[in-house]
Amino acid sequence: MSEKDSTKQEWHKKQAIHTFNSTWDLIEKKNRSLEDNLRMIHMAHASCYHWGEIGTELEFARGEWQISRVYSIVNCPERALFHANMSLNYCISANIHDFDRAFAYEAIARSYYLLDQLEDYKTNYNLALVEADTIKELEDKTYFLKELNSIVLN
């Protein structure tokens, strides 16, 4: 790999991490404005783009999951469902389980809940619970279950 290619990869990685983390800051922000919501959407897509330039299917799955969460937050469930399914597709194609596949099912369930498609919601909620059993770290599993169970509270 040339020095130019290495520098380009480092730049994409830096941008991917920065926009991913900045998106999280806005996800967690209380009382987001319309401008915050737009910025959150754009940053989630930017992060996914930059990971797409240098990442692996794991980062692609996480990026698509984050975009799905953002669209769920701003009540665009069709877009959320599209990206949730993309996250799951990456998990399946790369045989990714644990935290990431569980969250892919969580995102699908959340999207169906917002779409008021309750049978599909229940199916994917239950698939998320099955995947939760593959989460090795107790702290990750606890966090995941809290997020999964927050769907009906929104």
Task: Give tens-digit pLDDT for 86-131.
Answer: 999 999 999 999 999 999 999 999 999 999 999 999 999 999 999 9
Residues 6+ apart with CB under 8 A from 74: 37, 40, 41
Residues 6+ apart with CB under 8 A from 117: none
Q: What is the pTM of this model?
A: 0.93
d(CA 113, CA 75): 11
> Which pLDDT value is given to residue 153?
57
> Which pLDDT value is given to residue 103?
98
> Which pLDDT value is given to residue 1?
66
d(CA 137, CA 128): 16
Contact 80, 72 (CB under 8 A): yes
Structure tokens at 121: 């919601």
- Give every residue of the chain whose pLDDT is below 50, as ranges: 154
